Structure 1
Amino acid sequence: MKPRTKLQHQLVQYSSWLTPGVDKKILNYALSDCNTKLGFSTSKTYWCGVCGNSHSAKDIVKNETICPSCNSELHILETKKRKFHESYYIAFAEDMFEYQVIRYFHIDVNYRKGEHWKTNVLECIQQYHTDNDFHLISRLTHYGDTPIYGPMEVRNPGYYKQYAYNPYPSAYHPESVFLEQYSKKGCQGDFGNIRFDGLKRQLNFNCPKTETLLKAKQTQLLKVAISDSYKVSKYWNTVKICLRNNYNPIDGGIYFDYIELLEYFQKDIRNSKFVCPKDLHKAHNKLVAKKRKLDKKLAIAEQKRKMNFDQKQYEIEKGKFFGLKFKKGNLTIKVLETIQEFIEESEKHNHCVYTNKYYAKQGSLILSARVNNVLKETVEISLKEMIVTQSRGYGNKASNHHKEIVELVNENLHLIQERILSLSQTA
């Protein structure tokens, strides 16, 4: 929309003063550090996503190889596709008087057999942050869409569309510049897949734990600190052991689930032998299997009584969301409505959605994603942040339908928010 207020005119002027030529820096950074270097293989050959050339599949070892043509280290996907596409954001931060400006660049990568990959860069969002809020100059967006349409204009999104203008970046450009109040607390260069809005609130509240994790580049633990600060505070002594041992978990959500399981089995959660596993997924899955085996030994009557009690509590807390279902083609996503469904999801995917009592988790909503009525992933939504916290298939890994699942949930977050608002209005 056209600027009308004095503030909006000021933002438009500031936008014209931002550092020029950043898109070229972003493109170089995307090509060198961010684009996923993929190879696409059949049984006999593979083609390199970077240069497009084909080679024998004999050189592939554990889905990894080096392309003889361009020397790119490739991760191999088994597929007959001749085209592939990925997109993501890179953020670039700079200061503009009293504002911390976060510029979002949308990266669009197209892979095609026989051709060198093509990477396009488009700036689509500028956030002007103050201590308590941020203002927007952006391209237009719709629910679940990337804001890459139309000119850069002042935007004032409604409640349901605000998250579309505040995405998670895959990385921050290393030359990003932050205001002194943030840079002295650790905001320097790239600090990973962190949304600045949530990080800013923690830093402005002078949260020392968040600042420590930020300075230590513990991106995965930092994400948990922003979304669930209580959990980090509860296990802070364990986190400090990770810091002392330079242990950086590959997934913060799974790591704290693992620590909770260690605590359940009365293991020493201040011993680096337990809290810094070499293979987090393997250690986590081993405890999940152990707890599942222990649960099965419970008396049938006791288990039934417990399930009935948990079911009633679950219906009281999450019953307002029952019946929610999103569908697109053969993909269906629905809210889990019974404890038995949590058990089925846990056993099918070999993860801890039941053993760690996600049905009793406050501020969280669990959904089941199915393709042709076959379980594919379990999705957790943070009702506080209104974002997809995690979406995991077998062994806590993403399925082949992960991207479509997350996109469909994001497109329908407003339906969940409407349930919350309608309940608060009738109360």
Structure 2
Amino acid sequence: MRPRTKLQVRVADLSSQLPNIDNMMIDWAKDDCLNHIGYATKSRVICMECGQRFAPELVKRKRAVCPHCDTSLKIEQSRKRINKQTMFIGKAEICEEFQVIRSFELIAYYRAETKPCYYIREILQHWIKDDGNREVVARANNTGFNGWCGELEIRNKVIGSYYYNHNNDIYCERYHPASVYRPKYIRMGIDCKLRGMSFLTAANTIPHSPKAETLLKARRYELIDYFEDHRYKIDMYWPSIKICLRNKYRIKDVSMWFDYLELLDHYHKDLHNAHYVCPKKL
């Protein structure tokens, strides 16, 4: 879409001046974001990072270090010889008066006896001013086979139902550690370690929800991920959650833990008692 307002013209001009960081994002994602997997049978293990085989005797507790590329692998029992991983990653930057959130689609292809192939492309940019005005630079988002396509250009900010808002807001699983955020976002707890929420969701939710801010600053990403669709449970069992925070209790299965709290409540147990709320073996 052609820029129509002064703000859109300025954003389009600044966006065209942003450096290409595809190679930097791939180099970081290969080590820190993608899963390192090996497929094992009784007679061999295939390292999907370098494609080479090694003896299954090197596997200990479903982990192994490839003797060819020195990569620490998670071992899965399978006869598979190929693998594919897709994820969204992001980087935050400050450009002039804008907080810029750059989102990338990363696809990795793995095959036995060959080196992996990585493909990355920038698909979405949010340009956000301190007063809340925002413009979107993105590729066309089709729901068909092709997904994101076309060139990066000014797009309409979709305002409407919950579902359509997601056309302009994707959840990046990881943010590059060199990301830079404005101080107001850092005070909210939003930084490169953000998990469980997209940047826009966090920026719009946290100022109006002290509970979400507490969970984010405590790095309780498992509860933040549960927060958006089950906010009523967070509100209902907030005293029990605070007990978990004080006791540094990590919840491995959040859905099961809330079912467990409902069971405790059914039998009139004390939900303010760490003995019940923080079981050693859920």
Per-residue deviation, residues 276-316 of structure 1 (Å, max 9, x unmatched)? 3445xxx2xxxxxxxxxxxxxxxxxxxxxxxxxxxxxxxxx
Unmatched 5+ residue regions in structure 2?
none
Greater RCO (Cα-Cα under 8 Å, separation 6 or more): 2
Say if 2:140 and 2:149, in contact at 8 Å, map to a contact too. yes
The amino acid across from 1:262 in the alignment is L
1:54 Cα deviation (Å)? Answer: 0.7
The amino acid across from 1:239 in the alignment is I
Q: Which residue in 1 is equivalent to 2:128?
A: 129
Q: Which residue in 2 is equivalent to 1:185?
A: 188
Q: Which residue in 1 is equivalent to 2:67?
A: 68
Q: 1:219 to 1:264 in 2, by over 3 A?
A: same
Residue from 231, 236, 258 that aligns with 1:256: 258
Measure the CA separation in 1 of the matches of 2:205 and 2:266.
30
Residue from 207, 211, 214 that aligns with 2:213: 211
Say if 2:105 and 2:123, in contact at 8 Å, map to a contact too. yes
SS of equivalent residue, structure 1 residue 115: coil
Q: 1:273 to 1:59 in 2, by over 3 A?
A: farther
Say if 1:91 and 1:171, in contact at 8 Å, map to a contact too. yes
Say if 1:100 and 1:179, in contact at 8 Å, map to a contact too. yes
Residue from 229, 236, 243 that aligns with 1:234: 236
Q: Which residue in 2 is equivalent to 1:421?
A: none
Q: Greater helix percent: which structure?
A: 1
Q: 1:263 to 1:173 in 2, by over 3 A?
A: farther
Q: 1:64 to 1:153 in 2, by over 3 A?
A: same
1:185 Cα deviation (Å)? Answer: 1.8
Say if 2:188 and 2:207, in contact at 8 Å, map to a contact too. no
The amino acid across from 1:107 in the alignment is L
Measure the CA separation in 1 of the matches of 2:66 and 2:198.
34
Measure the CA separation in 1 of the matches of 2:9 and 2:54.
56
Q: Which residue in 1 is equivalent to 2:139?
A: 139
Q: Which residue in 2 is equivalent to 1:104?
A: 103
Q: 1:29 to 1:97 in 2, by over 3 A?
A: same
Q: Which residue in 2 is equivalent to 1:170?
A: 173
SS of equivalent residue, structure 1 residue 12: helix
1:264 Cα deviation (Å)? Answer: 2.5
Report 1:330-349 matches (<5 A).
Answer: none
Q: Sequence identity, in percent?
A: 33
TM-score (norm 2): 0.86
| Count of aligned pairs between the two proteins | 278
Per-residue deviation, residues 175-197 of structure 1 (Å, max 9, x unmatched)? 22222221112112222242112
